[in-house]
Amino acid sequence: MTLAKAYAAQSAEKPLAPFTIERREPGAEDVEIKILYCGVCHSDIHTARNEWGFTVYPSVPGHEIVGKVTRVGNNVSKFKVGDTVGVGCFVDSCMHCANCEADLEQYCENGHTQTYNSLSQDKSYTTLGGYSSHIVVTQHFVLSVSDKLPLEKVAPLLCAGITTYSPLRHWGVKAGHKLAVVGLGGLGHMAVKLGASMGAEVTVLSRSAGKAKDAAELGAKHFKLTTDKDTMAELANSFDFILDTVSAQHDYNEYLSLLKTDGVMIVVGAPPQPTPVSAFPLILGRRSLVGSLVGGLKETQEMLDYCAEHNITSDVEVININQINEAYERTLAGDVHYRFVIDMATL
């Protein structure tokens, strides 16, 4: 066992503060990683503040981890000391169910172990995430990261990148498709970059007028304000796909009517509150409303390699760890351009 410096939430009401945690000694299959950067995902906020209702305290968030390997176990063949690596949203799964065998560990039928706030496979402890000095992860759940790209800009790919890449690939988004991205935050800005790189004509649907210029620079062809009462009528039956990244409750029905016949609305945003869905926008146009969770390990590696090849990274604002509570407030206010990333050297 080693001690790791970390930042933790002790309750839903308290700000995150310094805390010391324990990490296991690397076992035969394990990789120990010194964390260099950790992105700040809106899921971290939902969890730290118990908005989804299942947070175990103390809670150390963080699942967009980039760092250097410091130790490896005897059976580790994929990595050696000094390698640059990443860890995303999962650190374990059963490894033998149909989904794990199909490289879909995120849908493990026996319950995956997320990087934080999740039971270990032997159910003996709750995981603690990347707002910490180091982490120990079994090699299957560790990704190779190219040293060609700035590492602080790579960290958000481990969640925001794969969460948007995976559904775009699964539903075959490509040139000729019209794609709307709802919400221009951490996930949304990656969806714009990735969707545009795959050839789709991207429209950003946002409630923030100030983001129009950024949307164009990120690769969007069009920008429409959802607070403008004419927008929804004007865009009816326009899109092949809608990728919804919004973090707070909103009306899915309004967006469904923007799909063409056979169009697909993919929900990745995870508002804590449920939203009623009417049958009518689905029936009238044979439309689909679907969801997607992050991505498997094989696909995450494919995404990292794709981003390295196409020079795609996240637009980030690097912060010191003691600015984390302020960063949460700014994220909630929509004032993030477009991902906060913690420089772990400041821990």
Of 73, 111, 219, 334, the residue at the interface with ligand NAP (CB under 6 A) is 334
For the chain, give the secondary structure using H, E and C: CEEEEEEEECCCCCCCEEEEEEECCCCCCEEEEEEEEEECCHHHHHHHCCCCCCCCCCECCCCCEEEEEEEECCCCCCCCCCCEEEECCEEECCCCCHHHHCCCHHHCCCCCEECCCCECCCCCCECCCCCECEEEEEHHHCEECCCCCCHHHHHHHHCHHHHHHHHHHHCCCCCCCEEEEECCCHHHHHHHHHHHHCCCEEEEEECCHHHHHHHHHHCCCEEEECCCCCHHHHCCCCEEEEEECCCCCCCHHHHHCCEEEEEEEEECCCCCCCCCCCCHHHHCCCCEEEECCCCCHHHHHHHHHHHHHHCCCCCEEEECHHHHHHHHHHHHCCCCCCEEEEEHHHC
Which of 43, 139, 203, 313 contacts Zn ion by CB under 5 A? 43
236 binds, among ligand NAP, Zn ion, none (CB under 5 to 8 A by kind): none
Closest separation in Å from C-beta 185 to ligand NAP: 2
46 binds ligand NAP (CB under 6 A): yes
- Residue 190 touching Zn ion (CB under 5 A): no
The entry of ligand NAP, Zn ion, none that residue 336 binds, CB within 5 to 8 Å by partner kind: ligand NAP
Partner from ligand NAP, Zn ion, none binding residue 232, C-beta < 5-8 Å depending on class: none
Q: Indicate which single residue of 60, 268, 289, 297 sits in contact with ligand NAP (rule: CB under 6 A).
A: 268
For residues 160 and 344, which CB has a smaller minimum distance to ligand NAP in the complex? 160
Locate 203 and state its tokens. Answer: 């429209």
Residue among 139 and 245 whose Cβ is closer to ligand NAP:
245
Structure tokens at 10: 């002790």
Distance in Å, CB of 172 to ligand NAP, minimum: 19
Q: What gap in Å lies between CA 322 and CA 186, rounded to an integer? A: 21
Instruction: Considering only the stretches 16-24, 154-162, 283-291, 298-306, report the one whose residues sit in contact with Zn ion under the rule CB under 5 A.
Output: 154-162
- In the list Zn ion, ligand NAP, none, the entry touching 67 (Cβ below 5 to 8 angstroms by class) is none
The answer to whether the CB of 175 falls within 8 A of the CB of 200 is yes
Phi-psi region of 219 (alpha: psi -120 to 50; beta: other; left: phi over 0): left
- Of 218 and 246, nearer to ligand NAP (C-beta) is 246
Name the token pair of 281: 């926008």
Residue nearer to ligand NAP on the CB measure, 220 or 294: 294
Site string for ligand NAP, 285-314 (x = CB under 6 A): -------xxx--------------------
The CB-of-89 to ligand NAP minimum distance in angstroms stands at 7
> Measured from the CB of residue 19, what is the shortest distance to ligand NAP in angstroms?
23
Interface with Zn ion, residue 40, by CB under 5 A: no
Smaller CB distance to Zn ion: residue 16 or 159? 159
Q: Which of the stretches 3-11, 39-47, 107-115, 128-136 binds ligand NAP when contact is defined by CB under 6 A?
A: 39-47
Q: Which residue is nearest to Zn ion (CB)?
A: 41
242 forms part of the interface with ligand NAP (CB under 6 A): no
> Is position 159 an interface residue for Zn ion (rule: CB under 5 A)?
yes
Residue number with CB closer to Zn ion (43 or 55) = 43
**Using CB under 6 A, which of the segments 97-105, 194-202, 240-248, 321-329 binds ligand NAP?**
240-248
What are the b/e assignments for 288-298, b being 16+ CB within 10 Å?
Answer: ebeebbbbbbe
User: Do residues 114 and 90 make contact, with C-beta atoms less than 8 angstroms apart?
Assistant: yes
342 binds Zn ion (CB under 5 A): no
Note the residues at the interface with Zn ion (CB under 5 A): 41, 43, 159
